[in-house]
Each structure stands twice: as structure tokens, then as C-alpha cells.
A = this chain, B = another copy of it.
Amino acid sequence: MNVNRRLQIGIIGSTDCADEMMDIAERTGALVAAKGAILINGGRAGVMEAASRGAKAAGGLTVGIIPGASKEESNPYTDVVIVTDMGHARNAIIARSADSIIAIAGGLGTLSEIALALKMGKPVVTLASPWKISGSVEANSPEAAVQLALGSRGDERANTFN
């Protein structure tokens, strides 16, 4: 049997950020959805909510892996809520579950996730990021970020197993 799994792309960033970053996140989320990939993030406010809003407007599927103990903590643009009750340890689950990561702006939580994703061998693309970590790739637009994130794993679309 052929399994053509959809790609799972993580968009990570802070709960509070500038309006300009929210716009970038929303556009990036929309592009991920338009490419047919599932959007994975931390399910909360800020960059996460903006990315999910963009993905939903583009007809996509959104997954929020939240740190707290209740579904209600997730933003309203989250289709599937994974309730970890594991605080920051959930960052490792986001990195593991994503085929590649796009980090938009972001603080220390985002940095921990960039480092974990790189450690796990996942492609990491940054956008307007204060963090320049060796191994990540910098993009200068949502379009470039999504192309880099999907392109670097585009060959996985052809993966099959029985």
C-alpha cells in the first residue's frame, strides 16, 4: 500500500510579538496550507495564532501542541488540540513531529525549539529571527521560507511503505 503522508510543517514563535510579525506569520501559515501541508505549532497566541489563522483561511489543517492541561487554552484557529500538560517539554514534541520548522522572530522558547530541531536533524528556516544558529537557514520572505521548508523535504512526499 502506498502511503503519501502530508508534510507536517512547524511554525514557531512567541505569544507576544509586533503586529508586523503577526502579518508575516499569517502569510506564512497561509502558504503552508496552500501547499497542502499540515501546520503544527504550540497552539497559543501571538505568532502561533496568526499562523493558524492564515492556514485556516487558506483551507488548511492546524494542530496545536499546547503546554497546559485544557483544550480551551488553545487559540480558536486550532483544529486538533494535543493537550500535553508538560510545559516547556512540549517543545521537543513539536520539533519531533514537524518535518521542518519555520521560526518567526521569537524569544528563548523559540531558541530552545530551534536548537532541539537542529539537534534532531530537522531543517530549520528562520524569518526575522534574532537567532543566527549554525545549521539554520535564513529566509527574507514568507514565500522563501515556505519554499525552503518544503523544498528541503519535498522528496519525502514520495516516500512509501507497506
A residues whose Cβ falls under 8 Å from a Cβ of B: 1, 3, 5-6, 8, 38, 61, 63, 65, 69, 71-72, 76, 79-89, 91-93, 95-97, 99, 107-109, 111-113, 115-116, 118-120, 133, 135, 159, 161
Contact of A120 (CB < 8 Å), options: B84, B88, B116, B135: B88
Contact B96 A69 (CB under 8 A): yes
Q: Are B92 and A96 in contact (CB under 8 A)?
A: no
Q: Are B112 and A84 in contact (CB under 8 A)?
A: no
Inter-chain pairs besides A61-B79, A84-B89, A112-B116, 16 sampled, C-beta below 8 Å: A1-B76, A6-B79, A71-B97, A83-B97, A84-B96, A87-B96, A88-B95, A88-B119, A88-B120, A91-B92, A92-B92, A108-B118, A108-B133, A109-B116, A111-B111, A112-B112
Contacts of A118 in B (CB 8 A): 108
For residue A119, give the distance in angstroms from its CB to the closest CB of chain B: 4
Residues of B within 8 A of A82 (CB): 63, 65, 82, 93, 97
Q: Is B97's CB under 8 angstroms from A116's CB?
A: no
Rounded to whole Å, the gap between the CB of A158 and the closest CB of chain B is 14
Q: With a CB–CB cut-off of 8 A, which chain B residues contact A81?
A: 5, 8, 97
Distance to closest chain B CB from A33 (angstroms) = 14
* Distance of A127 from chain B, by nearest CB (Å): 18
Q: Is B80 a contact of A8 with CB atoms below 8 Å?
A: yes
